[in-house]
Structure 1
Amino acid sequence: MKIGASIDGDLAAIATEILQEAEAAVTRGVFAAGRGLRDDWRGQVRASGLGSRLANTVRQADFPRSGTSLRAASLVWTEAPDILHAFDGGVLIRGKGGLWLAIPLPAAGVTGLGRQRITPWRWEQRTGMRLRFVYRRNGPSLLVADDARLNSRGLAAAKGGRRRRDGILTGAQTVPVFLLLRQVKMPKKLDLDGLAPAATARLPGAILGAWKR
């Protein structure tokens, strides 16, 4: 008994067509997996309470920039690596050169002049008030504002009115504005590396789903 077989069509053309379909499927699948990982990162950042602004620092870039390839790749990264790393690893932050870390209390507000992050210097520039250092042996030291009051928004502000003969401003308070610490342990809120295996596991299905044949 003899068995014969033949190919109906141009073998080279068929192979080229299959290769092109494979390149397109791999490219679309890899890009889709990259977008999925980017969205997972962003979702975890938002869910941790760090906000959409920080979540949107997570970016994705696909390669090749145009066309298709069996060696397609998708890169996911963040434009705020130091911040995300701090919350991902729970790092210990120390003041530079042995200086204090100034942690704003609610009375400080959240921004200084020009909507910049509040610091003791920016707080003084914003309010026109001076801060006084208070050392505490058994607790964090403080920066406080004298002759102050808490306004309707709970922020430290200058106390107006007249002084008594002894120099005391009636109704004035000494308001803690900043907490001073030598170091701060950032809480671990993220596990971005833990999301990578799920993205890798989705890749074969994404490629097969993009295959036309």
Structure 2
Amino acid sequence: MKLKLDVTPDLATMMAAEIAAGERAVTAAIREAGTGLRADWRRQITGAGLGQRLSRTIRSAQYPKGQPSLNAAALVWSKAPDIISAHDTGPLIRSKSGFWLAIPLPAAGRGRGGARLTPGEWERRRGLRLRFVYRRRGPSLLVADRARINTRGTAVASRAKTGRNQVTAPIFLLVPQVKLSKRLDLDRDAERAHDSVPRLILAKWAEGRS
């Protein structure tokens, strides 16, 4: 005795429809989870006082592009990964040369586009030499002698020959290392987004049936 089982055309159509509905549900759920995570990370960054510019480095993309799939995936990343990672992990920062880290003080001013200046750049731009001042207690200093503080609070070269209004201005603090404070918790939002996927898939599947 032989028994042959075939899938009827109506059943095959129903199965194909269910698969298509599943693909749409999974794709829509992954898209919502990915864009939601992007929004959460951006809110974290601005909420930590790191600015809109850094928050806009958070991007998201979905794969495969332009078609539903049961294997849909979302990728959320930053275009400034080193900066984001530093604020997310709170690393200990040391000088690459093994000596000092130079931290600019307000009198140092800024370079083009608001960039922080290194001691060498500062000397070239201001036309003043920096002098090392060792302190047994507290950070050592790089100071500029015979400087003048302008209206913006920046130390510049003084042209006064009499020494009037000339000061010795602290320009950089020198420290062996700096512990950057942890200001972000990106894993928290990522885990929340991951855990939301099954619920979103069910919700999207129900939406497709209504």
Q: TM-score, normalised by structure 2?
A: 0.88
User: Shift of the alpha carbon at 1:22?
Assistant: 1.0
How far the C-alpha of 1:187 sits from its partner, in A, is 0.7
Secondary structure at the counterpart of residue 59 of structure 2: strand
Shift of 1:70: 0.4
Q: Report the Cα distance in structure 1 between the residues aligned to 2:81 and 2:113, rounded to whole angstroms.
A: 24
Distance, in Å, in 1 between the alignment partners of 2:95 and 2:175 is: 8
* Structure 2 stretches lacking a partner, 5+ long: 1-7
RMSD of aligned alpha carbons? 1.8
The sequence identity of aligned pairs, in percent, is 53
* Residue number in structure 2 paired with 1:43: 43
Measured in 1, the distance between the counterparts of 2:185 and 2:114 equals: 30
1:64 partner amino acid: P
Task: Judge conservation of contact 2:104–2:116 (CA < 8 Å) in 1.
Answer: no
1:147 and 1:173 in contact (8 A); partners too: yes
The answer to whether the 8 Å contact 1:113/1:126 transfers is no
> 1: distance between equivalents of 2:113 and 2:58?
26
Aligned-partner SS, 1:126 = helix
Residue-pair matches, total? 200
Q: 1:128 corresponds to which residue? A: 127
Q: Aligned pair 1:14/2:8, yes or no? A: no
Cα deviations by residue, 1:37-77 (Å, 9 ceiling, x for unpaired): 11111110111011112112222121111211101000112
SS in 1 for 2:174: strand
Moved more, 32-41 or 126-135: 126-135
Aligned-residue offset at 1:173 = 0.3
Whole-Å separation in 2 of the counterparts to 1:29 and 1:114: 41
Which deviates more, 124-133 or 189-198? 124-133
Q: Which residue of 1 aligns with 2:184?
A: 190
Asked whether the equivalents of residues 113 and 125 of structure 1 are also in contact (C-alpha less than 8 Å), the reply is no
State the TM-score, normalizing by the size of structure 1: 0.87
Aligned partners of 2:97 and 2:124: how far apart in 1? 24
The one-letter amino acid paired with 2:77 is: W
Cα distance in 2 for partners of 1:85, 1:40 equals 16
Cα distance per residue 1:119-144 (max 9 Å; x no partner): 11222222222211111122211111
